[in-house]
Amino acid sequence: MPSPLFALIIEDQESDFEMIGFELRRAGFAARCKRVETETEYIAQLQEQPGIILSDYSLPGFGAPRALELLQQSGLEIPFIIITGAVSEETVVECMKLGATDYLLKDRMVRLGPAVTHALVESGLRRQKQASEAALRKSNERFQHLVETTNVIPCELDLETWRFTYVGPQAVTLLGYQPEDWYRDGFWCAHVHPEDRDTLFQLRGVPGAAAKDHDFTCRMLTSKGVTVWLHCVVKTTACQDCARILRGFMIDVTEFKQTQESLARHASDLAASNAELQQFAYVASHDLQEPLRMVSFYTQLLSKRYKGQLDADADEFIGYALDGALRMSALIKHLLEYSRVSTRRPEFAPTDCEAAFHVSMTNLQMALDECQATITHDPLPTVKADSSQIGQLLQNLVGNAVKFRGPEAPHVHVSAREEQSEWLFSVKDDGIGIEPEHFDTIFGIFQRLHARDEYPGSGVGLAICKRIVERHRGRMWVESEPGNGSTFCFTIPKDQVLA
């Protein structure tokens, strides 16, 4: 059931009030009528938001003109009909100007029903219109705020005249030119970097009316002569009776471009310095071999020829010199091996790690037999890799696991686990273990934790392992506890790209 119509009636005559109520009900309204005579009563009832106001034109001390004025001040949208005994044309005009919806003569009360219906419909429509206008305004404001307050600059350009027809206000802050500058003929072409002009001209050449998306980056000069990078995401469109236009957004990507350029510069500097170091290590180790060979050869000759002929000190000194020369020779050999890890031409091919592992174990056979080592392993996969380097990697790790064994015969286990994008290998031993503070340093070149007479070695083995893994774009690390063995882990990516 529709809710009853609340009719606020401004009337000093009780009989007229009764008559209005009667007419409303006769016209089919379930009306709840309330009579007021004074301004104070009227103001109080306005708070209740009546559905319609029916007002006598003039009452003692109050009347329709004042009631209309108060209604307007309240901002409420309530239809207002004046009901009066007699009225002049001027008064009617005056009342309508003040915002009355309609007027009615008291002796023509049969018209009340249709007049109220009409006023209610009209007021409903007005309210609807106001609501949709407010919603539209709000949505426009939101859209404008969205478009004009971010770093993404909206723009529209007439491709025939090559003129901007709209640019977001952010463009002014970004480039320092006023909107009227932007809307000048050829502004874009005049301020774009000469090398990027062709990119713009290509837009001109887009044929026909077909809509087309374009995505490009161009440089523009600010009013202060600074270069700004703009990424443009635009669409060229045309319809039959309008010019071809380009619409879209420009995004300031200067910071991103600068970072990109500086990264590229650093990468190329780094590559150059790496290559230089590589060359240096190779040349140094290679060229040092020759004089060292002479030193070793003649020290050995001295030892052979004069052993026992000079005094005991001389024999001892020659022994030291020989030992030093041999050690240096081993160091240089390892240094050369280390520098060769990355100078090898990439030869990545499907590598059966299990086969590579068996070859390595054969190479280590003597050392393994000597300490009665037990080496076990999981099935090892086939990966895209440099097979001889994978063999060397496993050999170095198992060799170390056995070398740094505990008091018992060592047990080493090699395993491989398939992860989402890589294989995770591990070589686990039950040896002496490593203190956590050495977890990183042991992978450095010539880094050792023990004296040579405790454990032989040159401190290059793990550096070579790490280099091999990195050349395969993998990672390498150790997990260990002193006295409780170590596990050396490394990964080999599945989708191997050549280094």
Binding-site ranges for ligand ADP (CB under 6 A): 400-401, 404, 429, 431-432, 434, 442, 447-450, 457-463, 486
* CB nearer ligand ADP, residue 386 or residue 429: 429
Distance CA 431, CA 410 (A): 7
Shortest Cβ distance from residue 268 to ligand ADP (Å)?
31
Q: Hey, what are 336's tokens?
A: 């050369």
Q: How far is the CB of 436 from ligand ADP (least distance, A)?
A: 12
| DSSP notation for 38-81 | SHHHHHHHHTT--SEEEEESEETTEEHHHHHHHHHHHT----EE
Shortest distance (Å) from residue 448 CB to ligand ADP:
4
- Tokens for 409? 């015969």
For residue 493, the minimal CB distance to ligand ADP (Å) is 24
From the number of C-beta atoms within 10 Å of its C-beta (0-12, 13-18, 19+), residue 246 rates as buried
Closer residue to ligand ADP, CB minimum distance, 37 or 429: 429
Are the CB atoms for 115 and 52 separated by under 8 Å?
no
Gap between the Cα atoms of 361 and 376, Å rounded = 11
Q: For ligand ADP, which is the closer residue by CB, 168 or 485?
A: 485
Which of 16, 51, 60 lies closest to 32, judged by CA? 51
By CB atoms closer than 10 A (0-12, 13-18, 19+), residue 401 is buried
Residue 174 or 401 having the CB closest to ligand ADP:
401
Nearest distance in Å: CB 292, ligand ADP: 19
113 vs 457, which CB is nearer to ligand ADP? 457
Q: Which is nearer to ligand ADP, 62 or 338 (CB)?
A: 338
Q: Whole-number minimum distance, CB 459 to ligand ADP, in Å?
A: 4
d(CA 106, CA 111): 10
| CA–CA distance, 28 with 114 (Å, rounded to integer) | 10
Closer residue to ligand ADP, CB minimum distance, 22 or 439: 439
CB burial of 135-167 (b: ≥16 within 10 Å; e: otherwise) equals eeeeeeeeeeeeeeeeebbbbebebeebbbeeb
- SS3 label, residue 496: coil
In whole angstroms, give the CA distance from residue 248 to residue 301.
85
Q: Which long-range contacts (CB under 8 A, 24 or more apart) does 200-209 make?
A: 203/159, 203/234, 203/236, 203/246, 204/159, 204/162, 206/236, 206/244, 208/238, 209/237, 209/238, 209/239, 209/240, 209/244
Amino acid at 235: K
User: Which position has the token pair 């020989």?
Assistant: 322
Residue nearest to ligand ADP (CB): 457
Nearest CB to ligand ADP, comparing residues 448 and 467? 448
- Residue carrying the six token digits 């009617």: 92
Nearer to ligand ADP, 325 or 460 (CB): 460
- Shortest Cβ 331–ligand ADP spacing (Å): 10
Compare residues 299 and 486 and give the one whose CB is closer to ligand ADP.
Answer: 486
CB of 294 to ligand ADP, least distance (A): 26
Distance between CA 251 and CA 236 in Å, rounded? 17
Instruction: Tell me how far, at minimum, the Cβ of 465 lies from ligand ADP, in Å.
Output: 7
Cβ closest to ligand ADP, residue 45 vs residue 396: 396
Residue 383 Cβ, how far from ligand ADP at the closest point, in Å?
23
What's the min distance (Å) between Cβ of 441 and ligand ADP? 8
CB 414 within 8 Å of CB 375: yes
